[in-house]
Structure 1
Amino acid sequence: MEKTQAQILKHHGGDGEHARQMITSTYESRHDNDFWEFWNAQMGTVIDKQDVLLDLGAGIGQFVKDLALRYPHNRVLGIEAAPYMLSAPLALPDNGHLIEDDLNQPQANIAVESVAVVMANMLVHELPQPVLMFKAVYQWLKPGGRFCIIDLVRQPLENYLTHKYPQKTLWNQAVERDEVEDVFDHFLEHNRYHADDIVFMLRSLGFKVVENTPLRDGRFVRIVVQK
């Protein structure tokens, strides 16, 4: 767990407080009407009463809270490792809970084939390897259950730098070395997996691909698979 916590903090620039504020402040824009229309069409249709609903990389529990309110007859669990997220959790409904666990090697006590849906939003690119998490998800999901991944995926350096510097200031203005090195470090982390890499791993475990949709000019992807 300590290794994973150190890795996450480094990925977040060494400032857990800032990371928590940034992630929580953008939650609403990432879970707008379009998102919930997608959720209802692709994920909500496989949820039965009493099924467990699971959010991976749950932060302070925003999505857990939303799901718990929308599905009062279901138990909603969120898994998180970062202490600066777990130290400031939301007040959750009685059917919502946060669990501390290392998603690089999950140990959470979740019953086999008890989960209807799993969400991993902006998580996979943070993992040095997601295989052990994908294996755990496959075990937890009931037959017909679905797993949704929304994440950054590999892109050309030109696209990445154009997004970071839309005014081309990297090329035509003075830029500090630390800034440039930080941008390139993040490029490597955000470029960890291609969408095809994620699909390959999931298919290799037995998942069936339901949706594979590029988002934001191909910088992101939304993948839905079914057990």
Structure 2
Amino acid sequence: MSDLSKTQEQILRHHGGDGAFARQRITETYERRHDDEFWHFWQEKVAKNYQAGDGILDMGAGIGQFVQDCAQRYPDAQVYGIEAAPYMLEEPLALPQNAEILIDDLNDPKSNIAENSLSMVMANMVVHELVQPIKMFRAAYQWLKPGGRLCIIDLVRQPLSDYLERRYPGTALWDEETTVEDLEDAFEHFLEHNRYHADDIEFMLTAGGFKVIEKSLQRNGRFVWLVVEK
């Protein structure tokens, strides 16, 4: 089995074995996750050193919604998306001529993107899915031009109590009707969603040469918005 196939199996397990549902959920929540607040943050913190002709990359592009958005917002840029899950690529969006989706494994990216060619890279809800994100961070560093910025938005470590109380409100956690299968799924996802602390992600990035520009916790500390610069 190839490394890409292993990653595809891993992603499908992470999505509960239901790729179609994962695709639908990601698609339907896109606008909410990329509202005016997000785009203000992106323009102020991530696009700071963008120049016409620079490249833009979305790591974990899904069906290509963010790729499409960036291609329209930055028509002078070459915009890439990297995706591995086949169910995300079954019916890809129609993209402008300055955009394309690349099939690659973010555990060890090999895409043919020129070094020092990108000014913006996004990794949105990707880091927690990777057993090790070092190779992805290293590739981003190589592809970014000096002054280019990487934006990470992701789940970060939280107490088990907070996690389970959101999934099982009231006394549901202890209800007889709560199945072993559901509890096992909850605890497996807890381990994945709590793989890294915000400081862990910052440490990995700065160890590789990045400089922190912005770091803020969102939604009661469950998410981090982190921007670093090459």
The TM-score bracket by the shorter chain reads over 0.9
Matched, 1:219 2:212: no
Secondary structure of 1:43 counterpart: helix
**Counterpart amino acid of residue 118 in structure 1:** V
Whole-angstrom distance in 2 between the partners of 1:216 and 1:31 = 15
Which residue is equivalent to 2:112?
A: 109
Whole-angstrom distance in 1 between the partners of 2:52 and 2:101 = 20
Matched, 1:8 2:8: no
Which residue is equivalent to 2:166?
A: 163
Which residue is equivalent to 2:153?
A: 150
After superposition, residues 128-139 of structure 1 pair within 5 angstroms as: 128-139=131-142
Whole-angstrom distance in 1 between the partners of 2:125 and 2:113 = 22
Which residue is equivalent to 1:75?
A: 78
Show structure 1 runs of 5+ residues with no match: none
| Contact 2:47–2:149 (8 Å) recurs in 1 | no
Secondary structure of 2:166 counterpart: helix
Whole-angstrom distance in 2 between the partners of 1:30 and 1:168 = 30
Secondary structure of 2:209 counterpart: coil
CA drift of 1:87 comes to 1.3
Secondary structure of 1:224 counterpart: strand
**Counterpart amino acid of residue 112 in structure 1:** E
Residue in structure 1 matching 2:102, options 79, 99, 103: 99
Whole-angstrom distance in 2 between the partners of 1:20 and 1:133 = 22
CA deviation profile, 1:89-146 (whole Å, cap 9, x unmatched): 0000111110000010100000010000000000000011000010111000000000
TM-score (norm 2): 0.96
CA deviation profile, 1:4-28 (whole Å, cap 9, x unmatched): 0010011011111111001111101
Which residue is equivalent to 1:123?
A: 126
Supply the RMSD in Å over aligned alpha carbons: 0.9
After superposition, residues 160-199 of structure 1 pair within 5 angstroms as: 160-172=163-175, 174-199=177-202
| Contact 2:157–2:197 (8 Å) recurs in 1 | yes
Q: How many residues align?
A: 227
Which residue is equivalent to 2:47?
A: 44
TM-score (norm 1): 0.98
Secondary structure of 2:53 counterpart: coil
| Contact 1:162–1:168 (8 Å) recurs in 2 | no
Show structure 2 runs of 5+ residues with no match: none
Which residue is equivalent to 1:90?
A: 93
Query: Percent sequence identity over matched residues?
Result: 61
Distance of aligned partners of 1:15 and 1:172 in 2 relative to their CA distance in 1, 3 Å threshold: closer
CA drift of 1:173 comes to 5.8
Which residue is equivalent to 1:31?
A: 34
Secondary structure of 2:195 counterpart: coil
**Counterpart amino acid of residue 66 in structure 2:** F
Secondary structure of 2:16 counterpart: coil
